[in-house]
Amino acid sequence: MATLLITGAAGRIGAALRPRLLAAGHDLVLLDERTPDDPPTGGERFVPGSVHDADALDDALIGVDTVVHLAGIPTEAAWDDLVAANLTGTKNVLERATAAGVLRVVQASSIHAVGRVPEPLDEPGSVPGDRLPRPDTYYGVTKAGMELLGSLFADRFGMSIVSARIGAFGEQPSSGRALLMWSSPDDLVRLVLATVALRDPGHHVVWALSRNTGSPADLTAGERIGFVPVDDASGVLDPDARAALPAEDLRYLGGDMVELPLGRSTS
């Protein structure tokens, strides 16, 4: 059993991971500026604060084995806001984790770090999880930068860091593109558990995707660290439900996001 710190624990992904990680037998520390909608239960400790608050981070890291870093802005926004939340926030988490002797981190990168890669729909498994960045937005740039911070801290401090390129996350696929690039909550938990088991230092950039039929994602990089996803978007919905999914731009891995005006918030 491990003790995991989840930053951004009140967010959509954090809320989905919490009960699954508890069911796997782990204790959780929840860090967020906002109190989670589901109150902390046995096995959980809530620390109010942000990734810009060194004291809150130090408190949250007490007794922790592995960090699950989810805090940040999850879509396109103003440049300065993205840099503060996604780059400086990540730097702060990695610095405080290092100071606390916590050497395992899985951090939420994004498919949008490689969003401008033309999506080869007729070539399943053709895009490796650790492909060089080709971002589609300022948001994607900050996620690529987060990956570089992971590389730096892994090399400088002997940490085991996984940069997880998350796709269309949700309980079930929500668009035609998500049938190819879906990240199920259960599979994302499998990636967290693979990170908990890491012992050798290094930085790993991997697809945090499910094993979706026909996906262009090559899952080999994740499999090398013990991440073996099992869910498949094509088996979650019946044919009528799949046919009714909204269409989305399939020219690039980033989908419709490649057309967003740079620096304009979508919220």
Closest CA to 161 of 205, 131, 111: 205
Question: Which tokens in the block code for residue 25?
Answer: 């037998």
How far is 43 from 28, CA to CA, in rounded Å?
A: 6
How far is 237 from 6, CA to CA, in rounded Å?
A: 30
Bridge partner residues of 27 (DSSP): 3
pLDDT computed for residue 206 by the predictor: 98
Closest CA to 116 of 89, 81, 144: 144
Closest CA to 192 of 11, 23, 48, 10: 23
Backbone phi, psi, residue 58, to 5°: -65, -40
Alpha carbon of residue 86 to chain centroid:
12
Give the pLDDT of the chain (267 residues) as one tens digit per residue: 899 999 999 999 999 999 999 999 999 999 999 999 999 999 999 999 999 999 999 999 999 999 999 999 999 999 999 999 999 999 999 999 999 999 999 999 999 999 999 977 678 889 999 999 999 999 999 999 999 999 999 999 999 999 999 999 999 999 988 999 999 999 999 999 999 999 999 999 999 999 999 999 999 999 999 999 999 998 988 888 888 899 888 899 999 999 999 999 876
Active site residue: 138, 139, 182, 227, which one? 139
Active-site annotation holds for 138: no
Superfamily of structural domain 3-259 = NAD(P)-binding Rossmann-like Domain (3.40.50.720)
Half-sphere CA count of 234, side-chain side, radius 13 A:
6
The DSSP-derived string for 184-240 is -HHHHHHHHHHHHT--S-EEEEEEE----TT-SEE-HHHHTTT------GGGTS-HH
CA dihedral angle for residue 151, residue 60, residue 101, residue 97, rounded to 10 degrees: 20
First to last CA, the chain: 38
CA dihedral angle for residue 61, residue 224, residue 208, residue 37, rounded to 10 degrees: -30
Question: Which tokens in the block code for residue 262?
Answer: 């740079």
Q: Name every residue whose Cβ is closer than 8 Å to that of residue 230 and which is 6 or more positions away in sequence.
A: 186, 187, 190, 210, 211
Q: Name every residue whose Cβ is closer than 8 Å to that of residue 30 and which is 6 or more positions away in sequence.
A: 6, 9, 10, 14, 18, 36, 40, 44, 45, 46, 47
Supply the Cα-derived Rg of the chain in whole angstroms: 17
Closest CA to 17 of 63, 65, 86, 70: 70
